[in-house]
């Protein structure tokens, strides 16, 4: 039997502010929703769009960073794994829900591009780390951060 592989890559916008709680042991857990859009054409060449809503759980330092810098509408690139939660209701019915456990993420855009309001103290920088100096001839022309090598682009 072949080995298993459980990896999810999503890019979308937060549907709500991250809901953060702290366990008795001091571990922070952030729960948030991500709206991911898909555009396609029908057989009649009509442009359609569908939105998928995904619940995501983040833990530890990542939960703290998301709480500090993200809010409803923030664009985010997420890497994670699928997890199936199962429970039984008070009526004895079995329920289940598929969600994503965050393993890594990147902020998308910048405050100027709608990634934050600029006046909100939780507004995030465009990336988690300061941008490196771009090789000559590879600078952005809009006055923003510099580009990294093509190999560093996550998609």
Give which of 120, 111, 109, 152 is closest to 134, Cα–Cα.
Answer: 152
pLDDT digits (tens, 9 = 90+) for 59-89: 999 999 999 999 999 999 999 999 999 999 9
pLDDT digits (tens, 9 = 90+) for 10-21: 999 999 999 999
Instruction: Look up the pTM and report it.
Output: 0.67
pLDDT of residue 136: 40
pLDDT of residue 1: 67
Contacts of 81 (CB under 8 A, 6+ apart): 6, 7, 8, 100, 101, 103
Average pLDDT value for residue range 22-32: 96
Domains and CATH numbers, the chain: 8-38+49-124 (2.40.50.140)
């Amino acid at each position: 039997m072949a080995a298993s592989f459980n990896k999810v890559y999503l890019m979308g916008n937060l549907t709500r502010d991250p809901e953060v709680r702290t366990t008795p042991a001091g571990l922070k857990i952030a729960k948030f929703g991500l709206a991911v859009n898909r555009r396609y054409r029908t057989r009649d060449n009509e442009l359609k769009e569908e939105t998928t809503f995904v619940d995501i759980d983040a833990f530890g330092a990542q939960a703290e960073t998301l709480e500090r810098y993200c809010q409803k509408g923030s664009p985010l690139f997420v890497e994670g794994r699928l997890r199936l939660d199962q429970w039984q209701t008070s009526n004895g019915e079995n329920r289940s829900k598929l969600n994503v456990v965050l393993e890594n993420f990147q902020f998308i855009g910048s405050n100027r591009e709608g990634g934050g309001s600029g006046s909100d103290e939780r507004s995030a920088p465009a990336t988690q780390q300061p941008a490196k100096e771009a090789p000559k001839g590879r600078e952005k022309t809009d006055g923003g951060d510099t580009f990294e090598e093509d190999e560093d682009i996550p998609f």
